[in-house]
Amino acid sequence: MGVVKCQLSVSLDGYMAGPEQSEADPLGKGGMALHEWAFKLAAWRDPHDREGGEGDDNPSNGVMEEAQAGTGAVVMGRNMFGPVRGPWGDEDWKGWWGDDPPFHVPTFVLTHHQREPLEMAGGTSFHFVTDGVESAVAQAKEIAGDQDVSVGGGASTVQQCIVAGLLDVLLINQVPILLGGGERLLDNLEAGASSFELARVVEGREAVHLFYAVS
């Protein structure tokens, strides 16, 4: 049986996106620096059809391979899918990733507005879920079968999964930068909303990887 997992990069001051998110700055001001460590890895570059990259001499590469392995479906918030707000209109927007997104599995997007599924190249299909995170995760788990469900951003989506008791594993890639504002990963959660057990720590060259079991 697969698990529901989430892996995110977070600044030292707790932000997973910087301030003033926009189409020009989808991760907010300074937010792209959260992922510079990953862009250098062979395990990140290969799914994005890019050659080269750091291999297993960097422990972060193994962490990235582990995080990506065994994923049968993805759940994400509308903010992660794109900057479009309100009704979908002419529905031209098909995500940040072009015709061949890097997920290669069915991907469930939380939204308040109905939209027909999108079939993309490489095995990615986007399904738009209007009846909440529990429904999205349930649909993803059914599709994934024995494989894992990976939960992406934004922060609100992860928080909803924690509150609903849907998340099994949380991998925080802590990056030594300060963003000073934006979206905090664990805002809006009451004390005792969930419990986190630190299961493992891996030190990469430019990030520390903290594996938590969530219950």
C-alpha to C-alpha distance for 149 and 51, rounded to whole angstroms:
27
Residue 50: the pLDDT is: 87
Q: Name the token pair of 213.
A: 């079991």
Q: Report the mean per-residue pLDDT for the chain.
A: 94
| CB burial string 198-209: b at 16+ within 10 A, e below | eeeebebebbeb
Which is higher by pLDDT, 140 or 95? 140
Q: What is the pLDDT of residues 8-17, one digit of tens each?
A: 999 999 999 9
**CB neighbour list of residue 39: distance below 8 Å, 6 or more residues apart:** 45
Which is higher by pLDDT, 87 or 4? 4
DSSP 8-state class, residue 100: S
Residue 90: the pLDDT is: 67
Domain boundaries, the chain: 4-20+28-83+101-214
- Contact in structure between 176 and 188 (CB atoms under 8 Å): no
In DSSP terms, which residues pair with 127 in a beta bridge? 108
Percent share of the chain, pLDDT over 90: 79
Choose among 114, 12, 180, 23: nearest CA to 126.
Answer: 114
Q: What is the pLDDT of residues 36-56, one digit of tens each?
A: 999 999 999 988 888 899 998
Confidence at 179, pLDDT banded by 50, 70, 90: very high
- Contact in structure between 142 and 5 (CB atoms under 8 Å): no
Choose among 212, 204, 210: nearest CA to 43.
Answer: 204
C-alpha to C-alpha distance for 86 and 29, rounded to whole angstroms:
23
Q: In the CATH scheme, what is the code of domain 4-20+28-83+101-214?
A: 3.40.430.10
Confidence at 149, pLDDT banded by 50, 70, 90: very high
Other Cβ atoms less than 10 A from the Cβ of 212: the count is 19
Is pLDDT at 79 greater than 80 in this prediction?
A: yes
Choose among 97, 167, 92, 172: nearest CA to 136.
Answer: 167
Across the range 112-124, mean pLDDT stands at 95
Rounded to 5 degrees, φ, ψ at 67 are -65, -35
